[in-house]
Amino acid sequence: MKKPIVLPNGLRVHVLPFSGTEAATALVLVKVGSRDERLEINGASHYIEHLMFKGTKRRPTTLDISRALDAVGAEYNAFTGKEYTGYYVTIDAKKLPLALDMLHDMIFHSKYDPKEMDRERGVIIEEINMYEDNPTMHVEDLLEETLFRGSTLGWNIAGSPKTMRNMTRDQVIAYRDAHYVPSRMVVAIAGKVDKKTLAIVEKTFGSVKAKPDPTSHAPYAPLASSLATRCSVQNKPVEQLQVALGFPSFGVADPRNAALSLLASILGGTMSSRLFISVRERKGLCYFVRAENGPYDDVGNFMIRSGLDKSRLPEAMKTILGEVEKIKRSGVTPRELKEAKDNFRGRILLRLEESSNRADWYARQELLLGKAKTPEERMKEMDAVTAAEVKKVAREVLDLSKMAVAAIGPFKDGEAFLRAAGL
């Protein structure tokens, strides 16, 4: 277990030096996302992420921020999820003080200029349109909207054109001030890091005053419904259908996630997985098919997604669900289990070669779980998973009576899709 350094204001810090690199990454994660919003400000978390790059008191414009980082060849960006927001700079390790100062300045001293805010509204509306026009991206949003209907967890991270036009500057700033508090933040610095790094973090992020934690979001509660009401469709004239099947799974801290991750890998996580071989290689029914699990605080989404030939939809759905039933009935083989564990180990070792991934590894665990396990500890947990445990979670999670369906294609509604799919 890697314990953080906790500053007096409650902010947690992970300093992660490692050799073999001349780079360093500074990552800041904040425990706020679209799940924490009210309906009238849906999209505020993502909006705030954009506005952090629009100028501070010391760096008044977007150009002032980008020019300072571009001048040293830094890579920088931000991202918003349903339960967290992140900001990072990967930079020449000699320039790490600039990265930390920049992140602190952006996060706590951005101006939120009304003209810039109005200009950015249009940018985000176009981003929403882009995702809705891209079936491979939009089908995942459509699935979670359906699977988590009745919960803020089902809301779109970017909000809607209506909420983006109508939320006020005062609402956005009040929301930011409530959630951007030190105790809800983690700073991770990885790469070629020296002893002076912590002092810089203390001078910048440590200077922020402590504030009370905001009210937590409401827990997820499933809605009882028929398959027809658990199926959503975007009617679109496409040649390749996008189909996603979702099953409610476990919260992020649930120990069964180790077995569930291996299940996802064996079922549809690699080019040698069961779904890839049966649906694509043997029958040529799709270009891609995959299975993955995405855990949130109190529930997860085990998703199977594919782009399918619309003329062979019933055969494809029968094949996919046949593999689901087979793995529930017969479990996995010793060889499959070993290869899935080796795959997990190999991917982790390759990812952690990069400072950005190493910072993310520790920061994300610290933020979401309140503790950060080392890669060795996580790999040991995976190695301990048995075939019986994988079969058990398959039966628990892959329950067709709880399955949600999302599709993008030439279908009037969910019932029309289900008929065409033979479901």
Name the residues annotated as catalytic.
49
**Dist. CA 78–CA 68, nearest whole Å:** 17
CB 54 within 8 A of CB 116: yes
**Dist. CA 302–CA 130, nearest whole Å:** 25
Question: Which residues lie closer than 8 Å to 83 by C-beta, 6 or more apart?
Answer: 31, 32, 33, 35, 36, 296, 297, 368
Question: Which residues lie closer than 8 Å to 235 by C-beta, 6 or more apart?
Answer: 409, 410, 411, 412, 413
Using the 8-state DSSP alphabet, how is residue 111 labeled? -
Give residue for tokens 């803020």. 152
**Dist. CA 297–CA 287, nearest whole Å:** 33
Measured N-to-C along each axis, helices 334-351 and 375-383 cross at an angle, to the nearest 10 degrees, of: 170
- Chain-centre distance for alpha carbon 122: 24
Residue 229: CB atoms within 10 A of its CB come to 14
Helix (H) / strand (E) containing 300: strand 300-309
Using the 8-state DSSP alphabet, how is residue 56 labeled? B
**Dist. CA 363–CA 391, nearest whole Å:** 31
Mark out the alpha helices in 52-113 (DSSP H runs).
Answer: 62-70, 96-109
Q: Phi then psi for 292, rounded to 5 degrees? A: -155, 155
CB 252 within 8 A of CB 372: no
Structure tokens at 127: 């981003």
Amino acid at site 295:
P
